[in-house]
Amino acid sequence: MFYSTEEFVTHLEGYGKEWVSAVKSDTRVTYGGDRNRVDALSQCIDTVPRTVNDDTYHIWIQKREVGRLGEVKLLITKKESSDEDEEPNVKCIVSNKIDAPASHLIELYAMRWRVETFFRDTKQDLGFGDCELRHAAGASRHWHLLMLAYSLLKFGAAHSALGTILGHASSLRNDIKRSFRESVQNLLPWALTSPDRSIDELMHQIDGMFV
């Protein structure tokens, strides 16, 4: 989990960038004239239900002095779960996008998982973790080829046989497993309902799974 720091935020804003991040539960927030922990604040505020991408969030959003970040937009959000026994997933999100609505900040923060799965996949399965190069040009070529390979694999998995790859971000390995399973599920009914098909026709169908 990445949390914003004063140094990193200052660096980003030096380039004129906007940012969205989470804050630690013990981060201090100015509220009601006092400096309270953000997790304590989340227990005593009144939230409003909002629907974002078919999910329901109970949100509280204000402009506040947060930690050493200065005055930022603070969003405290609790996502409803379909499991009644599961505790609400509380997130404390901050941003320098002062005028952004809560739904926009939630959607931006949700992209974090795609970034995390990208780095995990490239380090574990595509050789990024083994890259040992001294020259910037070589490292840049390796990086761009790796991103190309990742994009092609994700594109292929998204266009699986049945076209039902999950819309939310998941790891590349899980996408490929799901795509292969769907292809086999599509192939088996075809083979079972076509007993008069030749081996050559079956192999041609199997070859089409990997195009």
* The pair of three-digit structure tokens given for residue 109, joined into one six-digit string: 């923060």
Check residue 160 and give its pLDDT: 53
Check residue 121 and give its pLDDT: 84
Check residue 123 and give its pLDDT: 84
pTM of the model as a whole: 0.64
Domain locations along the chain:
6-110, 115-208
Closest C-alpha to 63, from 75, 50, 48: 75
Average confidence (pLDDT) over 57-81: 91
pLDDT confidence bin for 38, thresholds 50/70/90 = very high
CA distance 68 to 65: 8
Hey, is 48 helix, strand or coil?
Answer: strand
pLDDT, tens digit, 9 for 90 and up, residues 180-208: 677 777 677 766 676 676 767 766 766 66
Closest C-alpha to 22, from 74, 68, 70, 59: 74
Q: Output 28 or 1, whichever has higher pLDDT.
A: 28
Q: Output 109 or 152, whichever has higher pLDDT.
A: 109
Q: Top-level CATH class of 6-110?
A: alpha beta
Check residue 157 and give its pLDDT: 61
Q: Output 43 or 156, whichever has higher pLDDT.
A: 43
Q: In this prediction, what percent of the chain has a pLDDT beyond 70?
A: 76
Check residue 4 and give its pLDDT: 74
Check residue 170 and give its pLDDT: 62
Q: Is the pLDDT of residue 84 over 80?
A: no
Check residue 95 and give its pLDDT: 94
Q: Is the pLDDT of residue 158 over 80?
A: no
Residues 6 or more apart in contact with residue 80 via CB below 8 angstroms: 55, 56, 57, 58, 88
Check residue 53 and give its pLDDT: 84
